[in-house]
Amino acid sequence: MLLRSPTFIAVVLLAVAVPRAQISISGKVVDSVSGGAIAGAEVRLSRLGFSTITDNQGTFHLSENPTSVRPGNKSEKTGMNLSVLPNSSLQYRVSSATRARISLMDMRGKTVGILLDGNLDEGNHIFSPPSIPDGFFIYTIRTSTNSIAIPFLVTSHHSVNAAWSSNGSLRQADESRVALAAASGNVQDQLEVSAEGYFTYRMPIQQSTLSDLHIRCSQGQPYKGLVHVPSHGKSFMVGHVEGKSEGVKVNFTYDYMIDATEISQHFHVQVMGRNQSKEQSDLRKPVERMKWFDCVAFCNARSKLEGFDTVYTYTSMNEEEKKGEIRVTGIAGLEADFSKNGYRLPTEAEWEYACRAGTTTKYSWGDNLAEGDEYHWSAENGGGKGIHPVGSKLPNDFGLYDMHGNLWEWVWDVMAPLPTSEQTDYAGPGGDGERIRRGGTSQFDHHIEGCAGRSGLQPGGFGHDMGFRTVRKVIP
């Protein structure tokens, strides 16, 4: 029931009895590499909370009748009137002019359409969504003072308001979503499969009856975390190659943290909810096919997820969906505030200082590539071209893995000749153009770079040899 006034909206959800919908989901859980059955895995519907355990053959059958859900009440003063009309349009009354971004998302958080991204005059407005099928959707409205979500269910006949929340919280909406889904016979939930020694497998569930699911779980390993790099008050020669390049002296006035490994596919899915890698047989492998733009988006998303200030700001970010895959194709007005404590790409100087780990040799282990098989993956020592699980070789003296090989790693700097004069906290020349990549790759023959090796690639370029890791400045 909607209670309107000129200055605020109050949404009251009444406790209602909800018809029950039979749940019947069955299948088998196996190891993604060996194909062997995984016994004792927990299979669970995360929203409804039903669970079961796989038997010795890895099979399971989840069968339950969901109980009625009774959402509580929620009221928010927002300075605006909002409602979803029976035809799924959004009615929005604004008491004073403002700038707003209005989006339509599906239940997985995927943007279906942008209805507005700009100024909104005082008065009544109605926004019509693109053609959408039956299912659960969410309107999100973001202004300078509010972040609001209105979930609603689309049936063959009409739209039904599900709940109201503000400040990005959708817990109330999640509860109501289950109730409405059960009432319509359409289960909107997430299936989670957990087993000791394996990454948790997750998949959206939109049907109440599913059979013969074949779920492949990847063996997991603990995230190796961030490594503290003691760079404050230190200096070194960036780009120094004995007999070829003197490099440039760079001084640091701060310490920083850097990922011990390249960002794995599993970690990328946890932060971004997607995996664009070409080779997805093992989520312990580094995420690849990363554009430089994708890395920037990841850094901000990770900062928000962990409660840090975002480093990157921009006027707009262009996303493109192709073959079911969402990619960042461009970022306009991008700026980086290196005083923030959030995650970002390493500068070229930070990456090389971490790679060298106090050494002055060509590679972090010495001058001979052949002597470093225990420290790096290459096409020559890895059984051919391909990538390997992160952190599966020995680390350098700072405790960092795969700084040579496996995947090329993006850094922040624009590709340009190094300066000739001494620098402090060097972060590149600025401007647009190719961005630097470091470390080399095992995806091609003879592509392992030394500590100072560098090459450039357009920020929108990508391949199955491009990955990254992040850094975070230590702020006293």
Question: 355-396, pLDDT tens digit by residue?
Answer: 999 999 999 999 999 899 999 998 887 777 788 999 999 999
Query: What is the b/e burial string over 342-361, where b = at least 16 CB atoms within 10 angstroms of the residue's CB?
Result: bbbbbbbbbbbbbbbbebee
Percent of the chain with pLDDT strictly greater than 90: 39
CA distance 192 to 62: 12
251: Cα separation from own chain's centroid: 33
Residue 135, pLDDT score: 66
Write down the mean pLDDT value for the chain.
79
> Residue 317 in contact with residue 301, Cβ under 8 Å?
no
pLDDT at 462 over 50: yes
Give the pLDDT band of residue 71 (cuts 50, 70, 90). Answer: very low
pLDDT at 437 over 80: yes
pLDDT at 243 over 80: no
pLDDT at 84 over 80: no
Give the pLDDT band of residue 136 (cuts 50, 70, 90). Answer: low
Model confidence pLDDT, tens digit, residues 315-349:
998 888 776 677 788 899 999 999 999 999 999 99
Residues 6+ apart with CB under 8 A from 106: 112, 135, 136, 137, 138
Query: What is the b/e burial string over 168-198, where b = at least 16 CB atoms within 10 angstroms of the residue's CB?
Result: eebebbbbbbbbbbbbbebbbbebebbbeeb
Per-residue pLDDT, averaged over 137-143, amounts to 78
pLDDT at 467 over 80: yes
pLDDT at 241 over 50: yes
Instruction: Return the minimum-mean-pLDDT range out of 170-184, 287-301, 361-375.
Output: 170-184
pLDDT at 249 over 70: yes
pLDDT at 191 over 80: yes
Per-residue pLDDT, averaged over 171-195, amounts to 54
Residue 396, pLDDT score: 95
Q: Which residue has the higher pLDDT, 410 or 140?
A: 410
Residue 221, pLDDT score: 67
Compute the residue count for the chain.
Answer: 476
pLDDT at 67 over 50: no
Look at phi and psi of residue 43 and say left if phi exceeds 0, alpha if psi is from -120 to 50, else beta.
beta
350 phi and psi angles, rounded to 5 deg: -60, -45
117 phi and psi angles, rounded to 5 deg: -145, 80
Q: Which residues pair with 328 in a beta bridge?
A: 319
Per-residue pLDDT, averaged over 86-105, amounts to 80
CA distance 453 to 437: 9
Residue 152, pLDDT score: 66
Residue 22, pLDDT score: 61
Residue 173, pLDDT score: 37
Give the pLDDT band of residue 80 (cuts 50, 70, 90). Answer: low
Specify the amino acid at residue 444: F
Give the pLDDT band of residue 137 (cuts 50, 70, 90). Answer: confident
Residue 236, pLDDT score: 96
Per-residue pLDDT, averaged over 208-229, amounts to 83
Residue 96, pLDDT score: 81
Q: Which residue has the higher pLDDT, 41 or 1?
A: 41
Per-residue pLDDT, averaged over 31-41, amounts to 87
Residues 6+ apart with CB under 8 A from 64: 23, 48, 50
Residue 446, pLDDT score: 73
Look at phi and psi of residue 198 and say left if phi exceeds 0, alpha if psi is from -120 to 50, else beta.
beta
Instruction: Return the minimum-mean-pLDDT range out of 98-112, 166-180, 422-436.
Output: 166-180
CA distance 434 to 432: 7
Give the pLDDT band of residue 148 (cuts 50, 70, 90). Answer: confident
- Taking alpha carbons only, the member of 394, 398, 385 closest to residue 446 is 385
Residue with tokens 């004995």: 242
CA distance 346 to 470: 6
Within 13 Å, how many C-alpha atoms sit on residue 438's CB side? 29
> Residue 237 in contact with residue 246, Cβ under 8 Å?
yes
pLDDT at 274 over 90: no
Percent of the chain with pLDDT strictly greater than 70: 79
Specify the amino acid at residue 114: I
Q: Which residue has the higher pLDDT, 154 or 171?
A: 154
Residue 134, pLDDT score: 65
